[in-house]
Amino acid sequence: MKYLLNFKNVMGIFLAALALVSCEPNEDHLNSNQLNPANATATITPADLEGEWILSAMETDTVVDLNDDGVFNSNILLETNCFQDMGVNFLQNGDMITTNSKLDFKAGNNDDEFACLSGRTDSGNWDVENLNNEERLVITMTIDGTTRTHSRVLERTANTFAFDISKFESEQYYGNPDGTDAEDVRVLSLEYTRVN
């Protein structure tokens, strides 16, 4: 009987402690974007992407040391400031404006220098669609007289979106590094962070 009363006391203390812990306020600090009911839905809508975004990561399949500091990274943005102004503005009417950059590994008089080609602005149209339960960013742009439509599966958080890119698209950013230390590098994905 003594052990039964002891067990009841221990269980009573445990349950009281559990009740107190569960009633304490949550100390986690959530930003307003995480608390927004619109972010609770799994479906991405065009309204979720409207606004200005800046490139925040350009992930490659191989680590590189473009700035010769002895530190190798798979995020190209940690190796060069060439892409610091690269971004996109998704307008409410379905238009978009992008600022793009490209690494040139064949610059200079002897085609052996590294250079950044930045500041190119392109425009086009955009939309978000759901195909096979995957949210996709669909972009149509005309660059150098050729119109292309790309559809990419989106990964999204409250303040970022990311998508994988093809080998052809990789070359649009990473140039032609054939014959250089970076010739086997391929950009795999781009991540953008909301500016406003």
Confidence (pLDDT) at 138: 95
Confidence (pLDDT) at 4: 37
Alpha-carbon distances, residue 150 vs 15, 131, 170 (angstroms) = 56, 14, 13
Confidence (pLDDT) at 175: 65
Confidence (pLDDT) at 21: 34
Long-range contacts, stretch 66-75, CB < 8 angstroms, 24+ apart: 66/103, 66/114, 66/182
Confidence (pLDDT) at 181: 60
Confidence (pLDDT) at 6: 39
Q: Which of 140, 94, 137, 99 is nearest to 120 (CA)?
A: 99
Confidence (pLDDT) at 95: 97
CATH topology of domain 39-194: Lipocalin (2.40.128)
Confidence (pLDDT) at 180: 65
Is the Cβ–Cβ distance between 139 and 96 less than 8 Å?
yes
Listing DSSP states for 33-102 in one string gives: HHH-GGGGSSS--HHHH-EEEEEEEEEEEEEE-TT-SS--EEEGGGT-STTTT-EEEE-TTSEEEEEEEE
Confidence (pLDDT) at 77: 95
Would you list the domain boundaries of the chain? 2-32, 39-194
Question: Which residues of the chain are modeled with pLDDT < 50?
Answer: 1-41
Q: Which of 54, 113, 124 is nearest to 84 (CA)?
A: 54
**Helix spans in the chain (H):** 2-23, 32-35, 46-49, 167-174
